[in-house]
Amino acid sequence: MKFCTITALILGSALAADLSLFFEARMDVAPAIRRLLPRPFVDPTALIHAAAERYKVPEAFVRSIVAAESNFNPSAISPKGAIGLMQLMPETARELGADAAVPEENVDAGARYLRFLMTRYQKYRNGMTRAIAAYNAGPGVVDRFRGVPPYPETRQYVARVITFLKRYQRG
């Protein structure tokens, strides 16, 4: 396996993509190994657009979460273990039937989770703010505090997402 990775690095990304396709096509290659193979270029914009449309979540909202969570880096891993563009915790991704390390599944599951949170908090006048806080701190915490919890990290996160949201809504 190391030989293939080193060969791909030496010979360039075209070979890497060919090797990736070859190994991904093999059914006997474990998913854990497939994740280690070079992946083709990921277009976060297309993934965000498709997931937002699928779950009827404003595209600017999904884009804002991705910007705040990973700065559009599909390989991002947080110190707490959150993975990918939408920084899903592996447990949350599993609950949503997704592999957080696969960008398409990560964004799809993240947008589905945002739809869940938007629906959960739609009856409140600050429903969007609660949904953002719940994405960061969890819905249980938001419910316990009846709104954005007093955690500095969560309050800064909400402000950052709202700043991105205003920017992306303008176009």
The shares of helix, strand and coil residues in the chain, as percent rounded to the nearest 5, are 65, 0, 30
Which string of b and e fits 147-168 if b means at least 16 CB within 10 Å? ebbeeeebeebbebbeebbeeb
Neighbours of 94 (CB within 10 A): 13
Q: Catalytic amino acids?
A: 69
Q: Rounded to whole angstroms, how far apart are CA atoms 167 and 19?
A: 40
